[in-house]
Structure 1
Amino acid sequence: MEPQPRYVWMAELLRRPILSGELAPGDRLPSRSRLARAYDVSEQVSRHALRLLVNEGLVEARPGAGYFVRTPPDVHRFPRTDRFSGAGVGPLHTSEYDVATERASGGLARRLVLQEGAAVFRTRTVGTAEGEPVAVHTAWEPTALTRGTLRSPVDAPEAGVLERLAGVGVGVDRVVEEVGVRPLRAPEAASLRLPPGRPMLVVERTHYSQGRPVETSDLVGSVDQCRLVYRLGLTRPRWRRP
């Protein structure tokens, strides 16, 4: 087995009192030079060790002040199996709701199986907690489904997608989700007040009717604040007498 790098060893020694609660949120860690002397390593090793803990979200670096144990962020849990198939920002508060008409292209056109340039309704919703944006939900659906009715996202903003589409005779019978991490894009970054490019948790959800995609959406949130909750029903195995 290859020897463990010194900075990984040192990070583990610093990690233990943080995870155990011996060091509380807000506590200041010793400086890089003091850590180097205490653990008999170079400052480069102590710098890498602290950087590792920063990347793990356990420590924050404050310019000019040093390194501090990070206060754990509030975690928000998003139920993914509710009967309404609600893909919005609940349980967060809705602080922004915007509907516009766009032209589908590239990946969006493929997700909805539309021709390039087909018109779609784009709905963007921002979810907040204590006034701070946490997640943004962007949904797209072909305008041909509900335009000219009272069931479009423009005319029925409070209705869920299942209810709206059912009102025009489109019954959703399947939902598919893909969960992953990707860089934050510019429109989402503006809504979340974060710099573009930051890794974010993304849930791609698509609603189908008789094999045809009728709506697709992205739920984008911070990887350290958002959790997805899935409740899965299981079929009990039949007991047989031996």
Structure 2
Amino acid sequence: MERQPRYVWLADQLRRPILRGELVPGTRLPSRTRLARNYRVSEQVSRAALRLLAMEGVVEARQGSGYFVREDPARVRVLRTDTSSVPGMGGLRREVEGTEQQPGQPPVSTRLRLRRGDPVYLTSALGMALDTPVALHLSWEPALVTTGTPHTPFDAEPGDGLLDRLEAAGHPVDGVVEEVCLRALREAEAALLCASAGTPALVVERTHYCGGRPVETSDLVSTTDQCRLVYRLSLPRPRNPAEPG
């Protein structure tokens, strides 16, 4: 069996008392030097362990002060399966940043089944909770889908729904696929969300289909501190044996 790296082992030793509640939010962790001495590891190992915990959101680094156990933040609940989630914002107030046409590049062109360089419309929007941006929504459409119609993203009025616009253009959506992943927040995203690059981020990749053809794909990006995804699933009603088959 492959041996566990020392920094991962040390992170486990520090994580356990935090998750058990033995170290309350706001508690300052020992310095890298003290950790190295207490656990008989190098300072390089203790530094890597602290950085791993910070990436996980368990602790936070304060400039010039060290590492502290993080507060459990209040998260916005983003609904993904009701009518309010159609624009991809799950009930958040949508504030459009702008729309531009650009050559499609992987992985977006792959998700839309386009050739590299085929034109797409990119619409950027922020999801606002009160006056705070908590989510970034990026939507890409193949330009071919609505070009030549009065239903391109450039023609959209505030409050226009994506599905209504695509249907008016002759592409009614009949299928949706979502994938959720966790990755580090990128610098451009962090600037818009008033967060730190490298913070753990939730990403929801949603693709709309018409007759099996992708007609739009989007990313909903938020830090794990800011949002929690809520999925409501309908279960089939059990058939009454007395009912005719």
Cα distance in 2, alignment partners of residues 4 and 144 from structure 1: 51
The corresponding residue for 1:162 is 163
Alignment RMSD (CA, Å): 3.6
CA 1:183–1:52 in structure 2 vs 1: closer, same or farther (change >3 Å)? closer
Matched, 1:42 2:40: yes
How far the C-alpha of 1:10 sits from its partner, in A, is 7.0
- Counting only pairs closer than 5 Å after superposition, residues 183-198 of structure 1 correspond to structure 2 as 183-185=184-186, 187-193=188-194
CA 1:7–1:211 in structure 2 vs 1: closer, same or farther (change >3 Å)? closer
How far the C-alpha of 1:151 sits from its partner, in A, is 2.7
What amino acid is aligned across from residue 201 of structure 2 in structure 1? M
CA 1:219–1:30 in structure 2 vs 1: closer, same or farther (change >3 Å)? same
Cα distance in 2, alignment partners of residues 167 and 110 from structure 1: 25
The corresponding residue for 2:114 is 114
| Greater Cα shift, 109-118 or 173-182 | 109-118
Secondary structure class of the residue paired with 2:114:
coil
What amino acid is aligned across from residue 209 of structure 1 in structure 2? C
> Could you tell me the TM-score, scaled by structure 1's length?
0.76
Cα distance in 2, alignment partners of residues 6 and 183 from structure 1: 23
- Counting only pairs closer than 5 Å after superposition, residues 85-100 of structure 1 correspond to structure 2 as 86-100=86-100
What amino acid is aligned across from residue 211 of structure 2 in structure 1? Q
The corresponding residue for 2:133 is 133
Runs of 5+ consecutive residues of structure 1 not aligned to the other structure: none
Identity of aligned residues (%): 54
| Greater Cα shift, 231-240 or 169-178 | 231-240
Secondary structure class of the residue paired with 1:154:
helix
- Counting only pairs closer than 5 Å after superposition, residues 51-66 of structure 1 correspond to structure 2 as 53-66=53-66
CA 1:111–1:60 in structure 2 vs 1: closer, same or farther (change >3 Å)? closer
What amino acid is aligned across from residue 176 of structure 2 in structure 1? V
> Could you tell me the TM-score, scaled by structure 2's length?
0.75
Could you tell me whether the CA contact under 8 Å between 2:79 and 2:85 is conserved in 1?
no
Secondary structure class of the residue paired with 2:54:
helix
1:178-203 Cα distance to aligned partner (Å, 9 max, x none)? 11234545543443355666553221
Could you tell me whether the CA contact under 8 Å between 1:92 and 1:127 is conserved in 2?
yes
What amino acid is aligned across from residue 204 of structure 1 in structure 2? E
1:30-68 Cα distance to aligned partner (Å, 9 max, x none)? 55566678xx64374893665554344222232332332
What amino acid is aligned across from residue 146 of structure 1 in structure 2? T
Cα distance in 2, alignment partners of residues 105 and 62 from structure 1: 38
Could you tell me whether the CA contact under 8 Å between 1:85 and 1:162 is conserved in 2?
no
Could you tell me whether the CA contact under 8 Å between 1:87 and 1:205 is conserved in 2?
no
What count of residue pairs does the alignment treat as equivalent?
239
The corresponding residue for 1:204 is 205
What amino acid is aligned across from residue 91 of structure 1 in structure 2? G
CA 1:128–1:211 in structure 2 vs 1: closer, same or farther (change >3 Å)? same
| Greater Cα shift, 167-176 or 61-70 | 61-70
Cα distance in 2, alignment partners of residues 190 and 3 from structure 1: 39
Matched, 1:225 2:223: no
Could you tell me whether the CA contact under 8 Å between 1:28 and 1:67 is conserved in 2?
yes
Cα distance in 2, alignment partners of residues 43 and 110 from structure 1: 45
How far the C-alpha of 1:127 sits from its partner, in A, is 2.1
| Greater Cα shift, 27-36 or 119-128 | 27-36
The corresponding residue for 2:71 is 71
Cα distance in 2, alignment partners of residues 2 and 147 from structure 1: 55
Cα distance in 2, alignment partners of residues 105 and 33 from structure 1: 46
Could you tell me whether the CA contact under 8 Å between 1:151 and 1:164 is conserved in 2?
yes
